[in-house]
Amino acid sequence: MNGLIRKLTSSKLFSALMALLVILIFNVFLNRGFLSITVVDGHLFGQLIDILNRSVPVMILATGMTLVIATGGTDLSCGALLALAGALSISLIRGSSTIVNEYSAIPFPLVITITLAVTTLCGLWNGFLVARLGIQPIVATLIFMTAGRGIAQLITGARNLTTNYAPYSVIGQGWLMMLPVPIFIAAAVLLVVWYFTRRTAFGLFVEAVGVNASAARYSGINSSMILMIVYSISGLCAGVAGLIYASGIMCADANNAGLNYELDAILATVLGGTSMMGGRFYLGGSVIGALIIMALTKSIYAFDVAPESALVVKAFVVVVVVLIQSPFFKNWRDTVKNRRAAVGGGEVR
Amino acid sequence: MNGRRRFSVDLKYIPALSAIILFFAAYAIGGILYGDRGFLTTRTFATLFTDNAYLGVSAVGMTLVIISGGIDLSVGSVAALTTMMLAYFTEVLHWNSALMLCVVLLTGALLGFLMGLLIDVFDVPPFISTLIGMFLARGLCFIISIQSITINDPLLRSLGKWRIKLPTAARAAAYINLSVFTFIAILIAGIVIMQFTRFGRGIYAFGGGRASAKLMGLPTRRIQVGIYAFNGFCSAVAGILFSFYTFSGYGRHLYGMEMDVISSVVIGGTLLTGGVGYPIGSLFGIMIYSVILKFISFNGSLSSWWTKIAVGVLLLFFIVMQRVTVVLANRKKRIQKQEAR
């Protein structure tokens, strides 16, 4: 029993999970009807479902981000690529039509394929800059972070393009088995990435590159190929998140879609226990991180304050979680543990 | 020393030098395209400074941070908090505005100091700890007030409106204001700090190699915390200048300013890997950014989002060039080493 507790508390996911639990419990007391889930027209409604549903774009971005961060990098471009995906998909659906349309100009699967292919290519370009030209990830992805929104506005002609094409709305607003469709998309993305990284050697390669890229190369891993794949995956994730986001509002807003989402995705990943130095990564942790961010935002909305004031609380929660995970406290915990062991006459270490 | 060419320039100067060359090239192109519309007048040149002085002030602080191998995402939010505090305390609470100027400067430095502590003592990556600072400052703005507050304080008004006429033709009168002087003062301070003080040389050493700086016995904690405190101070100055520019305090001011500043600094030849860079380069980074804005306003038919694409393309150009110079420098070093053998 003791061993189990120790194993649980020493798990990387533990602090993130505890933070999420604390926020949820806090909500249960302050926010009446927080746990209640009702069935309306065969759809499940409730605040918990809402948190899950709304955290999907950040969750998907964080999935790609986790791999990028595991290689010791950062992808700042994913928020802008999210906006680009929305702009591209809606302008493809509208084609040359000048009014709000209810049909698609080109076949719908083609719209999705082109959109995802473009964001994946943007990701690949980031990967190329990082892997082949050896440019720092923050700078390499900063290019698309600034230019991506510009390109998105170029596509939409700096207007907020809208559409009424019904199949498109399914992605972000549809229902499946009583639950919102985005949740299933997120689950599918996670499952694929999980399988790809944990059931093949790919995950190991990613971690190896993150720990020491040149050592990984000497041990026969094609480091630059791994990096390019990882950044492409992040681009692909941004594309999927962009489709969901734009479909949720049926509008391509190049300026505000996914604004600062890249920061939230990085935050979710770090809250989930993945170190920004690279190495071990925790996909499950990133999912919990994304949920923490959304649950926190949601719980602050319950108070009657400006939504932006939520940032202060967010800052404090992040400080606490980050401090708990910091090497400083880990050292401190270890010394306390060792001292206790020494005093008790037991084995030291 | 054999085989040294007469006109060789140390490779570390190349990124900053090319920023300077690019600025003059862009300015000349603007002169050719829009010269008949007054692109080359002193007035236009003066507005390059007056319109973006606040960005420049922030860029000087950011240059120090980036040379140290760090990054600061909080500058836009801290500057917005400065405008908000200045407006709220002078207009709503009727505090003395001269006192408030000191208070906001201290607040900026304090926020920077706290972020520096988080980075140095607790080993939180700069990206995350300044992100926390960004959230905190932005949130505080909205806790103070969710509205935009107009500044009517006589002292602040007169400081913001104060300007000197430059000796030009009356038709295109050119002015420089307090923002420009502040920018120049901070820029000179930045240059002096980096070139002539122990602190500045320590920053270069720290950015070049953290572990070796520590082993050399440099006070790395004082250096790192000092850098972020200085940058917080610069953000506050930038916020003050921005509120002189708009005469308002608002929580939504200066969204995304950090990325403009970071890209200008990178375009100005400072390497994000740390250890290399000059405040004077950042001046030209900001000037290039201002010229792009001027191009767009002079053209008239281009939308403002072309700025983003242009900045992106310039970033790409400069980053690839920096990379090439680093590779060349390494090769040169290797050759020298072989020759020495």
* Tens-digit pLDDT profile for residues A66-99: 999 999 888 889 999 999 999 999 888 887 777 7
Task: Supply the mean pLDDT for chain B.
Answer: 86
CA distance B19 to B27: 12
Please indicate whether, in this complex, the C-beta atoms of B316 and A145 are within 8 angstroms of each other. no
Q: Would you tell me which residues 104-133 of chain A have a C-beta closer than 8 angstroms to some C-beta of chain B? A: 129, 133
Same domain membership, residue A185 and residue A102: yes
For the whole model, what pTM was predicted?
A: 0.84
Residue A164, both tokens: 């009424």
Whether A43 is covered by a domain: the verdict is no
The pLDDT-based confidence of B9 (bands split at 50, 70, 90) is low
Test mutation, A143, A255, A314, chain B, max B CBs within 10 A: A143
Query: Residue ranges of the domains in chain B?
Result: 11-340
Query: Does the structure show a pLDDT above 90 at A172?
Result: no
Which CATH number applies to B11-340? 1.10.3470
Q: For chain A, what is the largest distance between any 2 Cα atoms, rounded to a whole number of angstroms? A: 81
Whether A293 is covered by a domain: the verdict is no
Question: Residue B69: its chain A contacts at CB < 8 A?
Answer: none
CA distance A35 to A27: 9
> Are the beta carbons of B97 and B153 closer than 8 angstroms?
yes
Task: Supply the mean pLDDT for chain A.
Answer: 83
CA distance A116 to A242: 9
Query: Does the structure show a pLDDT above 50 at B2?
Result: no
CA distance A315 to A98: 44
Q: Which residues pair with A44 in a beta bridge?
A: A39
Q: What is the pLDDT of residue A122?
A: 93
Average pLDDT over residues B33-58: 86
Query: Does the structure show a pLDDT above 90 at B335?
Result: no
Across A149-153, B236-240, B312-316, least confident range: B312-316
Q: What is the pLDDT of residue A9?
A: 59
Question: Residue A270: its chain B contacts at CB < 8 A?
Answer: 125, 128
Please indicate whether, in this complex, the C-beta atoms of A154 and B129 are within 8 angstroms of each other. no
Q: Would you tell me which residues 219-248 of chain A have a C-beta closer than 8 angstroms to some C-beta of chain B? A: none
**Nearest neighbour of B273 by CB, restricted to A129, A136, A328:** A136
Question: Residue B258: its chain A contacts at CB < 8 A?
Answer: none
State whether residue A149 sits within 8 Å of chain B by CB: yes
Residue B212, both tokens: 């070796």
Distance of residue B330 Cα from the nearest chain A Cα, in angstroms: 13
Same domain membership, residue A216 and residue A97: yes
CA distance B58 to B289: 14
Range of the domain at A333: 303-338
Closest CA in chain B for residue A143: B312
A to B CB pairs, distance under 8 Å: 130
Please indicate whether, in this complex, the C-beta atoms of A146 and B315 are within 8 angstroms of each other. yes
Task: Look at residue A179 and give its three-state secondary structure.
Answer: strand
Across A231-240, A277-286, A337-346, B236-245, least confident range: A337-346
Closest CA in chain B for residue A76: B259
The DSSP 8-state label assigned to residue A11 in this structure reads S
**Nearest neighbour of B315 by CB, restricted to A143, A154, A270:** A143
**Run of H or E residues at B132:** helix B126-144
Question: Residue B266: its chain A contacts at CB < 8 A?
Answer: 139, 142
Test mutation, A293, A300, A322, A331, chain B, max B CBs within 10 A: A322
B46 burial via Cβ count (<10 Å: 0-12, 13-18, 19+): buried
Query: Does the structure show a pLDDT above 50 at B1?
Result: no
State whether residue A317 sits within 8 Å of chain B by CB: no
CA-CA-CA-CA torsion for A51, A56, A61, A64, nearest 10 degrees?
A: 110
As for the ipTM of the complex, it is 0.77
Distance of residue B135 Cα from the nearest chain A Cα, in angstroms: 5
State whether residue A261 sits within 8 Å of chain B by CB: no
Same domain membership, residue A225 and residue A78: yes
Distance of residue B294 Cα from the nearest chain A Cα, in angstroms: 17
Same domain membership, residue A311 and residue A271: no
A191 burial via Cβ count (<10 Å: 0-12, 13-18, 19+): exposed
Test mutation, B123, B130, B140, B331, chain A, max A CBs within 10 A: B123
Q: How far is CA B163 from CA A150, A303, B89, B184, B239, in A?
A: 35, 46, 25, 15, 19
CA within 13 Å, CB half, B170: 0
CA distance A63 to A203: 13
Same domain membership, residue A279 and residue A308: no
Please indicate whether, in this complex, the C-beta atoms of A313 and B259 are within 8 angstroms of each other. no
CA distance A27 to A294: 12
CA distance A131 to A230: 10
What digits encode the pLDDT tens for the residues A243-276?
999 988 888 887 788 888 888 898 889 888 888 7
- Domains in chain A, number: 2
Query: Does the structure show a pLDDT above 90 at A278?
Result: no
Pure H helices in A174-260 = 181-198, 202-211, 213-218, 223-249
Same domain membership, residue A322 and residue A213: no
Please indicate whether, in this complex, the C-beta atoms of B266 and A150 are within 8 angstroms of each other. no
Same domain membership, residue A193 and residue A160: yes
SS3 sequence of A324-335? HHCHHHHHHHHH
Same domain membership, residue A180 and residue A75: yes
The pLDDT-based confidence of B234 (bands split at 50, 70, 90) is very high
Average pLDDT over residues B214-242: 93
